Amino acid sequence: MAGSASIERLEAGGIFFKVFFPPRPSPGLLLLPESRSSTVESLAEKLLLEEFSVVLPESFPGYTEILTAFEDLRSNSPVKSRVLQWWVWGEGRGGLWALRLSRDLGAEIRGLILDSLRAEDREEASGLLSALRKPHLLFHPQLEDSFPFPEAERMFTLSPAHAKKLLLLPGMRRGEVLLKSPDLYVQTIAEFVNPRAGRWRRKKDSLRG
């Protein structure tokens, strides 16, 4: 509805999405979590408060299905009129899918937020990062024993992008940042995305690398 935020349920490509719209047209964030949870719902709500349009799939059948559904969703008239540019947030397996979307959709994706890439995906992720020139923010938990931070750091350096940032999450395991520091996490995302989306907002505390 005009002048206020709204939450809608839209179907595209056989997948239902929960879509969070702020009052005004804004950058959009497609969320691709490791799994659907109340924590991810809370993340979507907090990003909405930062005036992002947020899109959360209700199911994750496979990468090809997500790609097809997302392409259909982007062509939806209400979505096109309210989303100014697209970013993708991916957690775990979703981080790999975000990298694939960036490759497959080209200029349609403005940038990426990658959280806790998986050790089993490192070979493909390294190849995709080595060709990634778009802005991207990478979070990596310190206590991810199967994927030590120095390995993530080496992989991060493969990217030729100028606007990129790697942040260590000290004392945390995979998924814990959304439970322990959700507000700082969201603010860190906003501070990275906003200037690259043409939005300059008052700076608050954020996670620091």
d(C-alpha 14, C-alpha 11), whole Å: 6
Strand pairing class (53-57; 164-169): unpaired
What average pLDDT does range 83-105 have in this prediction? 97
CA-to-CA separations, 45 to 18, 64, 92, 140, in angstroms, rounded: 11, 27, 20, 23
pLDDT in tens, 114-165: 999 999 999 999 999 999 999 999 999 999 889 999 999 999 999 999 999 9
> Quick one: pLDDT at residue 201?
55
pLDDT in tens, 2-34: 568 999 999 999 999 999 999 999 999 999 999
Contacts 24+ apart (CB under 8 A), 156-162: 156/129, 158/126, 158/129, 158/130, 159/129, 159/130, 159/132, 159/133, 160/130, 160/131, 160/132, 160/133, 161/132, 161/133, 161/134, 161/135, 161/136, 162/133
> Percent of the chain scored above 90 by pLDDT?
88
Q: Assess whether pLDDT exceeds 90 at residue 203.
A: no
The residue whose two tokens read 């005036």 is 51
| Closest to 192 (Cα-Cα) out of 130, 133, 114, 100 | 114
**CA 13 to chain CA mean position, Å:** 20
* CB distance 144 to 174 below 8 Å: yes
* CB distance 183 to 46 below 8 Å: yes
What average pLDDT does range 66-82 have in this prediction? 96
Amino acid letter, residue 163: A
d(C-alpha 75, C-alpha 59), whole Å: 20
d(C-alpha 76, C-alpha 149), whole Å: 40
* CB distance 84 to 25 below 8 Å: yes
Look up the CATH number of domain 27-196.
Answer: 3.40.50.1820
d(C-alpha 70, C-alpha 30), whole Å: 9
pLDDT level of residue 199 (50, 70, 90 thresholds): confident
